[in-house]
Homo-oligomer: A and B are copies of this chain.
Amino acid sequence: MFSGAQISLYPMADDFVGVILLALGALDPYRDRLRIETDDISTLLVGPPEVLFPAMRDLFVAAARSGEHVTFSAAISRGCPGEPDEAICNTSALADPLEPLAARQAAAHAAVASAAETGQAIAAQFSLYVMGTGQHMDEIYGCIDFLKGSCVFDRSKHFCSVLRGDAGPVFATLAEAFCRFGPPEGHVTIDLTVSANSPTAR
């Protein structure tokens, strides 16, 4: 299995480089469990979901604490048929596909309920894509049902769902959406946008 994300951090400030450099320290506790490569467009994180989502959360929270309006964009992927198997991606976080949707939704809710708060309020907007199956919408609707029951669900929009709340349960909800829906050997992706300190009224 291969899993990871192409991520970008966007501070809306003249000193965007300073904000990014300061936030990067938040990745230090994860560096031995991730492969990290940076270029001018994005940073690649390769690793399992249980490392990936906490690392993205801590990076974004560190940037948001600058007080600047910051956003974060990620293309998160697992099981892409074009990618190699990589040992660093070994994971036990993916749900058993034989488990009924209702049981997977209950486990997802329990995981979100136990997520620690960070003290940082954020908004997140994302689309879940499940590929290589004729029934991809069953899994997506199952995930949307879970989201609507989540304490951080805000609303559905065209093409995506919006979460709002503390970064802890928001990123936990994203991780559960990614891991509990779509087969473990399947090709599942998330297109994610996260925002904090926006001056725009909701």
Contact = CB atoms under 8 A, between A and B. Distances in A.
A17 interface: yes
A189 B69 CA distance: 28
B129 A4 contact: no
A94 B158 CA distance: 21
Interface in A1-30: 2, 4-6, 8, 10-14, 16-17
A8 B198 CA distance: 13
A46 B158 contact: yes
B12 A200 contact: no
Interface stretch (A80-88, A103-111, A113-121, A165-173): A80-88
A50 interface: no
Contact of A12 (B12, B130, B199): B12
Copies assembled: 2
B13 A14 contact: yes
Size class of the contact patch on chain A: 35 or more
Contact of A131 (B75, B130, B201): B130
Interface in A161-202: 162, 187, 189, 191, 193, 195, 198-202
Nearest to A202: B40
Given A8-B71, A8-B193, A159-B77, A200 B132 contact: no
Contacts of A41: 123, 125, 162, 193, 195, 198
A81 B10 CA distance: 32
13 contacts: A6-B193, A11-B12, A13-B13, A39-B202, A42-B125, A42-B193, A44-B158, A46-B158, A77-B127, A82-B140, A133-B134, A134-B134, A189-B191
